[in-house]
Amino acid sequence: MAISEEQVREELKRVVDPELFVNIVDLGLIYVVDVNPRDEVGKFDVSIEMTMTSPMCPAGPQLVAQSKQAVSQLEGVENVEVKIVMDPPWTPDRMTEDARDQLGIF
């Protein structure tokens, strides 16, 4: 069974920023999700590019580790690579309406 980008993003919604208490997908921290089939049937590697709300985000290592752990639990996932990128820089415009509502940003 193939794994989709949407499935990966749903798993990443389980990862919550410990300072803002909003998941990293709704915060707009996930930029790219690539799901690549391996030679073995039904096995996949997942590459994720994500950013932080600031370059010196103290929760960065925790968010990366939790992201890897969450996606690794999907059946068929062999390897998960999470790369931190700062370009383009994160802005509150990347947040979903749900995240804005949770944070009281209108």
Indicate the domain borders of the chain.
5-87
**3-state helix/strand/coil string of the chain:** CCCCHHHHHHHHCCCECCCCCCECCCCCCEEEEEEEECCCCCCEEEEEEECCCCCCCCCHHHHHHHHHHHHHCCCCEEEEEEEECCCCCCCHHHCCHHHHHHHCCC
Can you give the pTM of this predicted structure? 0.92
What CATH number does domain 5-87 carry, 3.30.70.100, 3.30.300.130, 3.40.718.10, 3.30.70.260?
Answer: 3.30.300.130
What is the residue-level pLDDT of the chain in tens, covering all 106 positions? 789 999 999 999 999 999 999 999 999 999 999 999 988 888 999 999 999 998 888 999 999 999 999 999 999 999 999 999 999 999 999 999 999 999 998 6
